[in-house]
Amino acid sequence: MFFSQIQGLDEIKEQLVASVENQHVAHAQLFAGGEGGGALALALAFANYINCENKQGGNACGECAVCQKTKKHIHPDYHFIFPTYTKTKKEASNKEEQKSQFLSDWRVFLNKNPYPSLSAWADFSKADNRQCNISIEESRRIIKDVSMKAFEAEYKVFFMWLPEYMNEAASNALLKVLEEPPHKTLFFLVTQSLEQVLPTILSRTQIVNVRPFTEYEVQNILINQFYTEAPKARNLALWADGNVEKALSLGKEKENDSFLAFKNWMRHAFMGDFTNLVKFSDEYQKLSKVAQKSLLTYAENVIRELLLFHHGASNLLRMPEEERTFLEGFAKAVKPEHLEDMYAVFEEALIHIERNINAKMISLDVGLQMVKLFRKK
């Protein structure tokens, strides 16, 4: 991972680069940022920057021996610690095999998305419902690895993703090396929940606060790193709260053409077109439950936006043009005082979908109530 591969967060990159220039790199740092944010990617890029043999202009060269290996997360001096679960005998015959399976999964996982969430990792590593954590054995292994000299890089680096999933015994085992690590050894911890990190760890690390990605940054990440088409990327970024993982999973719901579906639905209701409302309900029933819920949630978001719009505090102006035009029309078609009633209709429908009430009936009922609300004086 290189700084140049991370969209945005420039002010934090500069701060990190400056710490190298001033020779003020703390040996134990805790990168703190929310789920789906840039904290892990920054920690990886920072280590790479420190170790790069030919750094230039605030960036690693991308070509030297260190860069070549860190690109694939296979540098022998980089150690990864992350939450895992205990595999069955059938999955892995012994601890060593288990460890190597997790590590090779982890490398593939990181290559796919350096802005991960724990649930994405649990899915990817096939945890099913098994609890993931960082065990005391893991801490003991770190202590063993710490005592060995670096092979190739100037600095040996230990990356720990989500220290909040380490219990007290596991963290106590580490306190001494965190406090006094051997020469040329770095510990980069990455948390998604600073308040859950044990105080003993907090007091031994220097915190690097990583703000969430802006909407624009998420949009660029989706376009440049995940090859999402620009209009879709813009739209996903709008709902992602700076969380790349969330944007990706929203995008994965293939049926998530919520905007188009919602637009048609509301048009039929506005026109009082009952034939098409019935047809719409037939289609709605065929969607997966996730997609059914996602359309209703989208509708709720829209109504919330319109409420904000009437109070002069809206995101509307930042929406893709097609969507904005439709929503402005929508805003004119309904009286502000009826928006809350509309919201309640969608809220109730969501509850009914949860309770497995017939989706066709629910959506037809929503349609009819919308007809009434559009006509209400």
- Using the contact rule CB under 5 A, the part of the chain among 47-55, 153-161, 213-221, 283-291 near Zn ion is 47-55
Question: In the bound complex, what is the minimum distance in angstroms from residue 185's beta carbon to Zn ion?
Answer: 20
Closer CB to Zn ion, 47 or 189, in the complex: 47
Closer CB to Zn ion, 60 or 178, in the complex: 60
Structure tokens at 230: 């620009």
Smallest Cα–Cα separation from 303: which of 226, 373, 375? Answer: 373
User: In terms of DSSP H, where are the helices of the chain?
Assistant: 10-21, 39-51, 65-71, 95-112, 118-124, 136-146, 168-179, 199-202, 215-226, 230-239, 244-252, 258-271, 274-286, 289-310, 321-333, 336-354, 359-375
Question: In the bound complex, what is the minimum distance in angstroms from residue 66's beta carbon to Zn ion?
Answer: 5
Smallest Cα–Cα separation from 366: which of 277, 283, 288? Answer: 277
Candidate residues 44, 52, 177, 208; the one interacting with Zn ion per rule CB under 5 A: 52
Question: In the bound complex, what is the minimum distance in angstroms from residue 64's beta carbon to Zn ion?
Answer: 3
**DSSP 8-state assignment for residue 131:** P
Find residue 78's DSSP bridge partners: 157
Q: Is 31 helix (H, G, I), strand (E, B) or coil?
A: strand
Closer CB to Zn ion, 66 or 339, in the complex: 66
Tell me the site size for Zn ion, rule CB under 5 A. 5
Closer CB to Zn ion, 41 or 350, in the complex: 41
193 Cβ neighbours under 8 A, 6+ residues apart: 164
Question: Which residues in 232-251 contact Zn ion (CB under 5 A)?
Answer: none
Question: In the bound complex, what is the minimum distance in angstroms from residue 6's beta carbon to Zn ion?
Answer: 16
Question: Which residues in 59-78 contact Zn ion (CB under 5 A)?
Answer: 60-61, 64, 67
Question: In the bound complex, what is the minimum distance in angstroms from residue 55's beta carbon to Zn ion?
Answer: 7
Smallest Cα–Cα separation from 227: which of 113, 120, 339? Answer: 113
Question: In the bound complex, what is the minimum distance in angstroms from residue 65's beta carbon to Zn ion?
Answer: 8
- Using the contact rule CB under 5 A, the part of the chain among 58-66, 74-82, 255-263, 367-375 near Zn ion is 58-66
- Using the contact rule CB under 5 A, the part of the chain among 50-58, 123-131, 164-172, 350-358 near Zn ion is 50-58
Q: How far is CA 177 from the centre of its chain?
A: 31
**DSSP 8-state assignment for residue 159:** E
Closer CB to Zn ion, 154 or 340, in the complex: 154
Q: Please check whether residue 190 is in contact with residue 160, taking contact to mean a CB–CB distance below 8 angstroms.
A: yes
Closer CB to Zn ion, 69 or 204, in the complex: 69
Question: In the bound complex, what is the minimum distance in angstroms from residue 81's beta carbon to Zn ion?
Answer: 24
Closer CB to Zn ion, 45 or 67, in the complex: 67
Q: Tell me the C-alpha distance between 367 and 285, whole Å.
A: 14
Q: Tell me the C-alpha distance between 142 and 314, whole Å.
A: 50
Is 20 a residue that touches Zn ion (CB under 5 A)? no
> Contact residues for Zn ion (CB under 5 A)?
52, 60-61, 64, 67
